[in-house]
Structure 1
Amino acid sequence: MIDALYIAASGLQGSQAQIDTISNNLANLQTPGFKQSHVSFANVAALSPAQVQQDASAEGKDAGIEVLGTRAVFTEGALVQSGNPLDLAIHGQGFLEIVDAGGNHIYTRDGQLHVDNEGYLATVTGNRLADGIQIPPDARSVSVGSDGRITALLGDDTQATELGQIQLATFASPEGLKQVDGNAFVPTEQSGDPTLGHPQDAGYGTIAQGMVEQSNVDMVQSMTSLVLAQRAYQLNARVLQAADEILDTINNLRR
């Protein structure tokens, strides 16, 4: 009966992790470039097959489920037009490489860019592209090609000038990336180091100007999973309560 308490407790913890993760997914339904996360579980057997054959006791041994962690799902979200020429969506597997205030390189699919007060291309959070591309104050008709080349008309020029080319990053195992700041990621040992290349290179994807990638969260699927996780939490709570009542009855019998 003690085992039932441990199993129910592990079930409660797992269900709570599932509820928290799905809730975060739904909260970011409208966040551009957001990638939903899934929780990974593992069954924890109290006894090994060899111990079962030896009729070993499971008392005091862990059982139930174990939360292994969460992982992002990198399916591509829908690309929608924004009307802003500095909004860039990635069609493919690549990530934009940006640099935060601490000089750390982080990676995102959110290509909502603007020109900061020093002329650099930066994200809505103020982090600049690692490419260090600047847009001069007199630039007109800024264009970003599918290969990431940025051109513009400068001053009274009638011929476009190339201002730079955006690079994209890919990872050997993107599911190993660690999520930070909602829709940005940092490499881990599991993801491997980033490999940089240009849009249109094999495996990097292409750039779509004036487009924004939407979140890949499926609201119907997420709501269904949330209901199931809540029911699982309730069932585990009932098991915990039932085990407590049985133990109380046993304790009273001894009196």
Structure 2
Amino acid sequence: MFRALSTGALGMSAQQKSVDNIANNLANVNTTGYKRTSIAFQDMFYEKVASSKHGAAASRPANDGPSLEIGHGSQPVATLRNFMQGPVEETGAALDVAINGTGFFQVEMPDGSIAYTRDGNFSRDSSGLMVNNSGLPLADMIEIPMEAVGIEISQEGVVTAQMAGDAGQIDLGQIEMAKFINPGGLTAMGDNLFSETEASGMPFYGNPGEEGFGVLRQGYLEQSNVDIVNEMVKLIEAQRAYETNSKVVQTAEDMMQVTNGIKR
């Protein structure tokens, strides 16, 4: 009975984390470049107990056919991130860039390290550098002159500008992209950023449009890939699983009450 209480409680705790994850997905349904996550569960260790055939105090031999095993519930073990392409929405802004396909933008952190993002909502800071919403510059260090009156970003990531009083275009730089063998192994840092881990592997670099890399779309932003209907269905499933585990706890408590009342 006590095992049922703890197993049911662990099940409730696991489903609570699932609900927390779904809530985070729904909260980020309008976050640019957000990738939905799910919780992976794993059953806990199993205890081999004696069957009535061997007596209450006997331990069952390991090689004596099927053994009686009692599980100890489940536990959440990992967060899985789905990097499926999100819908692309037109904004018309010159420095909004969406990746259509595989790859990440690279931004430079204050400590000099590189972080990776699918959020292409860029702007120009006071020094002229292309930066993200947190003020972090692209690792390519593309600087836009004050005199620029028009910016063009090609599908291959070439950034050019038209200067005031000049009909020609000047080359401002090349946006380089990164990709990973296992993008699901990246660690979420917040602010729409990811960092490299051993699980993700080392990044591979290339220009947009090259083999294995997506192309850029100026004037567009990739939206979240969260499907509200799917998340609501999963929320109902998690709620029902939570209720079922709470019934296990209640049933175990009722059985203990019955046992305690036998001698009356």
CA shift for structure 1 position 229: 0.5
Residue 135 (structure 1) aligned with residue 141 (structure 2): no
Question: Structure 1 residues 25 and 10 mapped into 2: Cα distance closer, same or farther (>3 Å)?
Answer: same
Give TM-score scaled by structure 2 length: 0.89
* Per-residue CA distance 1:49-78 (angstroms, 9 max, x = gap): 9589464674xxx62212111021000011
* Per-residue CA distance 1:116-164 (angstroms, 9 max, x = gap): 1111101112111111111010012100000000001124222101100
- Structure 1: how far apart are the matches of 2:111 and 2:18? 32
Residue 169 (structure 1) aligned with residue 178 (structure 2): yes
* Paired residues for 1:165-244 under 5 Å: 165-244=174-253
- 1:12 is aligned to 12
Structure 1 contact 79–213 (Cα < 8 Å) conserved: yes
Choose which of 75, 87, 91 in structure 1 pairs with 2:96.
Answer: 87
Choose which of 148, 154, 161 in structure 1 pairs with 2:163.
Answer: 154
- Structure 2: how far apart are the matches of 1:116 and 1:9? 51
- Structure 1: how far apart are the matches of 2:263 and 2:195? 58
* Per-residue CA distance 1:8-43 (angstroms, 9 max, x = gap): 122112101110111100000011100000111122
Classify the secondary structure of the residue corresponding to 2:46.
coil
CA shift for structure 1 position 184: 1.8
- Structure 1: how far apart are the matches of 2:16 and 2:247? 15
Classify the secondary structure of the residue corresponding to 1:126.
coil
Structure 2 contact 34–225 (Cα < 8 Å) conserved: yes
Structure 2 contact 46–69 (Cα < 8 Å) conserved: no
Question: Which residue type is aligned with residue 14 of structure 1?
Answer: A
Classify the secondary structure of the residue corresponding to 1:94.
coil
Structure 1 contact 34–182 (Cα < 8 Å) conserved: no
- Relative to structure 2, which stretch is displaced further, 1-10 or 208-217? 1-10
Question: Structure 1 residues 235 and 138 mapped into 2: Cα distance closer, same or farther (>3 Å)?
Answer: same
Residue 22 (structure 1) aligned with residue 22 (structure 2): yes
* Per-residue CA distance 1:199-238 (angstroms, 9 max, x = gap): 0111111000000101000000101101110111111112
* Per-residue CA distance 1:79-119 (angstroms, 9 max, x = gap): 11001010000001100011223333211101000001111
Choose which of 88, 111, 129 in structure 2 pairs with 1:102.
Answer: 111
Question: Structure 1 residues 57 and 224 mapped into 2: Cα distance closer, same or farther (>3 Å)?
Answer: closer
% identical aligned pairs: 37
Classify the secondary structure of the residue corresponding to 2:17.
helix
Residue 64 (structure 1) aligned with residue 64 (structure 2): no
Gaps of 5+ in 1: none
Classify the secondary structure of the residue corresponding to 1:222.
helix
Gaps of 5+ in 2: 49-60
- Structure 2: how far apart are the matches of 1:50 and 1:6? 26
Give TM-score scaled by structure 1 length: 0.92
Structure 1 contact 32–215 (Cα < 8 Å) conserved: yes
Rg larger for: 2
CA shift for structure 1 position 193: 1.6
